[in-house]
Structures are given as C-alpha cells and as structure tokens.
A and B are shown apart, each in its own frame.
Chain A
C-alpha cells in the first residue's frame, strides 16, 4: 500500500462549487511525485485538503495506513505529513531558531535529538545557521523558502508536501531549491511537489500528474510526461 493514497477526492471552499472533482493519486514510499497544472487548477486546494485545512466532501485520503480524511490538521501533521505552504508560512516574529525548534512538535523532540535535526538543516542550508538569531521576517525570500523547507524537515516527515517552492525566487535559487529537494528525497523523504515550473519539476521527479480544472488529466513517469505532446504544448512552452 502506498504511503499516500487519494481516491475520488472532492472538495471546495466554503459553500462554493467543487474545486476538486474526484482526484485520485498515490505517492509510494521513497517517491518524488510532482503535480503540475495552471493557475487555479486546484493544486493548492488539493494539498490543503490532504492536510485537513479544507474539509473533503467525498472520497478517501489514506496516509501511512490510516484514513485521514476529516482528521484535524495537527493530528495529520503528527502522523508525519508536512506541508510547506504557498507563501512559505514562516513565523515572522520568531527567530530562525525558534521557527525550526517549533517544528519538532510532532515528535516531541528536545535536547540532543532536536539538536541533531537542527544540525542537519544547518548543513543543508548554512545561511540559516548564520542567521539563527534573526527574526524570520528579516530574511530574504530565498532564505525564507530555505527556512520553510528546513522547518518541514525538522518535523521528521514521512511525506513532504510542497506548494510551489520556486515561486518568486531568482532562477539560480530555483535551481538550488530543486537540487535540495532531490537531495532530501534521496535521503529517503517521500515528496509530493506542486509546481507551475513544469520542466524543472519533472526533471527531479520520478512520476508526475497533470491537474486541469480540478481533474487529473495525465499521469505517467516524469520522462514520459516530458515527451507527451499535450504536456509540452500546455506546460513546457512548446
């Protein structure tokens, strides 16, 4: 059974119409899967529904062998799913260090074990070590993204979900972020990566899904999607 299995998921905002019209997808243990789609396709809504921030209207979400549809967000996080949200969601008035330490909540990490996690993040993003005492709002956009990803790692995630981590970053930083995500995945963290930057996302992924207006319209290996004429036309600029 895959680590994450979504089946026939429907969801929408408030009293509004469905935004997700029966989504099915899986992420297996160790996989890096990307989900690409245009503005407003429902990518963010899907991630938020998986995390329980949007209540599912129908369908199933199974994670680590448990049904999580309808569960409280904090409980889902404690099972080992960690979302890096659109806009990064760093706590602006907390120091870099406090942002990271907070993330040990799901496993109650303290002391040496927590320090080991922090050291791993600092090894991955040395700039965060340098700025550890600074308040998070004073970081640049790229540094905030590193903090958001680093923080997600401190939760010891079984599954990392990322919502457009490349958004608003300079091209050289984008490349660095994707390299880091690939590296994190190689270290054993299963990942669901949402991106508009389809080419780069497919480059680092094993498999991919294409979401259009709340429906999965293509699902294949990353290599096959890169060669798919429809995908090329719509998402890879020809």
Chain B
C-alpha cells in the first residue's frame, strides 16, 4: 500500500510541477500555453541526448534544465513577445502551432521509436519505515518538495518575487512603479520552462520518451489545475497530488482500463460541488 501511495504521490508531483508552471505563464500574461506538454517532451529528449553523449545522469539532468531555461527565453521572444498586444486567441493558436511543430521536429531528430534513459539510482528498491519503495518515486517527491519550498521563498521573500506577483496582479501599476514588465514576463517563461523541464527529467526514467510524453502528462495537469482552482498555484499543486493519487488508487483497486474515465468522473464531480475548484478564491486574489 505504501508503495502504491508513493507512486501516486510521485506522479502527482509531476502533474503539480507541470500544472503550476503552466499557471505561472497564465498568471503573468493571461496566455494559455498549449505547447506546455511539448516543453515536458522536449526536456525528455534533451535528457536522452545528453545521456547518449556520455554525460552522467545528474549532469545530463542539470544540462537539460539549463537548456530548458534558455528555451523558455527563446520561446518567450519568438512566440509570446510578437503577439503580446494581440487578442488572447493569437497566442493560444501560436502555441498550438508551436506544439505541432515541436512534436514533428522531435520525430525528425529523435525518430519514432520510444527512447529509454537510465534510472538516477543503481538500487531498485529502498526500505523506508518497513515499506519497500522505488528510489525513483522518493526522488521525485523529495525534489518536488524542495522545488516548491524554493519557489515559495522566491515568490514571497525576494524583491524579484514581489515584482513577479505584482506584474501578474496589475501589470500597468507594476510598470508605474518602475518594474520592467517584459523582463518579468521573460523571467516567468524561463522559470516555467525549467519547471516543466524538471517534470520531464523526473518522469523520463520511469516512462519511455517519445512524442507522446508531454501529452500523457499535460492532460492530467490540466485536470489538476481546474480541480485546484484555475489560476491558483497552491491549487495546482493540491490538484496534481489528488489526480496522481486518485489515478493510482483507481488503477489498483477498481480498474486500470477505466482509470482515466473515472478520473474524469471525479473531476466533473469536484466542479459540480466547487465550481471554482478547491482553492479558487475570489477574483480579487489574482486580478
């Protein structure tokens, strides 16, 4: 049972990272990045290439995160920035287009066959409190916890974090206080791409890497975001954990064939009871 919970929590952490990184961009720009799943996919492929080039796993992971940061900046410059004053839908469509482009590019570069990266660990099982757990799952949970705490500190205890939150809440007023909006948005994209990339790095060893890697994760992350309350970062995290746990519990105890259908059922139920999601506060919280 502990094993099952750990694996559910681990997947939940991945959904949480993807969901919250998606929401970072949404809060800062009101843009919906429909290429976000491809961010995760791209990180998986970059990780594979780094390992393939002979880098040890930890170095490959760091290199991937670095690449994703740069990628976030480039994405911001090429996809977001030119459309920043256009209607909402322009960016959405551009990201959908970019997603298709990225998947096809990946197909060209890395081929259609699913790729495998080694585990971060040599051990296949660790004992903790009498239970036998997969080190990979514990690693995902621990890494996510550290990242969430770091992000909280960044957002709530640094000047940069205040600037990021202010820009998300009222970009015009932030500029009136001398905060450079474009810089804040660029930083947001870098952070977001790195967090999505981290999710990719964390799942790559337990999944196979192919062009569907992002799609598998992003759908659950969307459900997590909506269950948690659209726009709420704690909500995205809570929603992610719920979806991860629910998915595994249903698969183990009910039916693994229908786990997605049942997850959707619960999703609809939550929305019926909490139309704004679990942590979807009053509108003033964000706007």
Residues on the A chain within 8 Å of B77, using CB: none
- Our pick among B170, B173, B177 for the contact of A106 (Cβ within 8 Å) is B177
Asked if A101 lies at the interface with its beta carbon under 8 angstroms from chain B, I say yes
Known contacts A53-B172, A137-B284: does B178 contact A77 (CB below 8 Å)?
yes
> Cβ of B175 and Cβ of A74 under 8 Å apart?
yes
Per-position 1/0 for A73-93, Cβ under 8 A of B: 110011000110100011111
- Our pick among B159, B177, B179, B285 for the contact of A92 (Cβ within 8 Å) is B285
Asked if A224 lies at the interface with its beta carbon under 8 angstroms from chain B, I say no
Residues on the A chain within 8 Å of B163, using CB: 102, 105
Query: Once bound together, how far apart are the Cα atoms of A78 and B178, in whole Å?
Result: 5
Asked if A98 lies at the interface with its beta carbon under 8 angstroms from chain B, I say yes
Residues on the A chain within 8 Å of B287, using CB: 92
Residues on the A chain within 8 Å of B181, using CB: 74
Asked if B180 lies at the interface with its beta carbon under 8 angstroms from chain A, I say yes
Residues on the B chain within 8 Å of A91, using CB: 165-166, 169-170, 173-174
Known contacts A89-B176, A91-B170: does B159 contact A101 (CB below 8 Å)?
yes
Residues on the A chain within 8 Å of B285, using CB: 92-93, 137
Which residues of B in the span 153-212 have a Cβ within 8 Å of any Cβ on A? 159, 162-163, 165-166, 169-170, 172-181
Asked if A103 lies at the interface with its beta carbon under 8 angstroms from chain B, I say yes
Known contacts A91-B165, A93-B284: does B170 contact A73 (CB below 8 Å)?
no
Asked if B30 lies at the interface with its beta carbon under 8 angstroms from chain A, I say no
A220 nearest CB across to chain B (Å) = 30
Total contacting residues, chain A, CB less than 8 A: 26
Residues on the A chain within 8 Å of B159, using CB: 101-102, 105, 110
Residues on the B chain within 8 Å of A110, using CB: 159
Q: Which residue of B lies closest to A148 (CB)?
A: B173
Query: Once bound together, how far apart are the Cα atoms of A91 and B125, in whole Å?
Result: 49
Per-position 1/0 for B218-257, Cβ under 8 A of A: 0000000000000000000000000000000000000000
Residues on the B chain within 8 Å of A83, using CB: 176
Per-position 1/0 for B130-174, Cβ under 8 A of A: 000000000000000000000000000001001101100110111
Residues on the B chain within 8 Å of A82, using CB: 176-177
Asked if A219 lies at the interface with its beta carbon under 8 angstroms from chain B, I say no
> Cβ of B284 and Cβ of A102 under 8 Å apart?
no
- Our pick among B172, B177, B180, B286 for the contact of A102 (Cβ within 8 Å) is B177
Q: Which residue of B lies closest to A79 (CB)?
A: B178
Residues on the A chain within 8 Å of B166, using CB: 91, 94, 102
Query: Once bound together, how far apart are the Cα atoms of A72 and B179, in whole Å?
Result: 11
> Cβ of A74 and Cβ of B180 under 8 Å apart?
yes
Asked if A49 lies at the interface with its beta carbon under 8 angstroms from chain B, I say no
Known contacts A77-B176, A82-B176, A105-B178: does B169 contact A92 (CB below 8 Å)?
yes
Asked if A51 lies at the interface with its beta carbon under 8 angstroms from chain B, I say yes
- Our pick among B162, B175, B284, B286 for the contact of A73 (Cβ within 8 Å) is B175
Residues on the A chain within 8 Å of B284, using CB: 92-93, 137
- Our pick among B165, B176, B178 for the contact of A94 (Cβ within 8 Å) is B165
Residues on the A chain within 8 Å of B180, using CB: 72, 74
A54 nearest CB across to chain B (Å) = 11
> Cβ of B169 and Cβ of A151 under 8 Å apart?
no
- Our pick among B162, B169, B170, B177 for the contact of A77 (Cβ within 8 Å) is B177
Residues on the B chain within 8 Å of A5, using CB: none
B231 nearest CB across to chain A (Å) = 11
Write the residues of chain B forming the contact surface with A, with a CB cutoff of 8 angstroms: 159, 162-163, 165-166, 169-170, 172-181, 284-287
- 21 pairs of residues in contact across A and B, judged by CB atoms under 8 Å: A51-B176, A73-B172, A74-B181, A77-B175, A77-B177, A85-B172, A85-B176, A89-B172, A89-B173, A91-B173, A92-B285, A93-B165, A94-B166, A98-B162, A102-B162, A102-B163, A102-B174, A106-B177, A137-B284, A155-B177, A155-B178
Write the residues of chain A forming the contact surface with B, with a CB cutoff of 8 angstroms: 51, 53, 72-74, 77-78, 82-83, 85, 89-94, 98, 101-103, 105-106, 110, 137, 151, 155
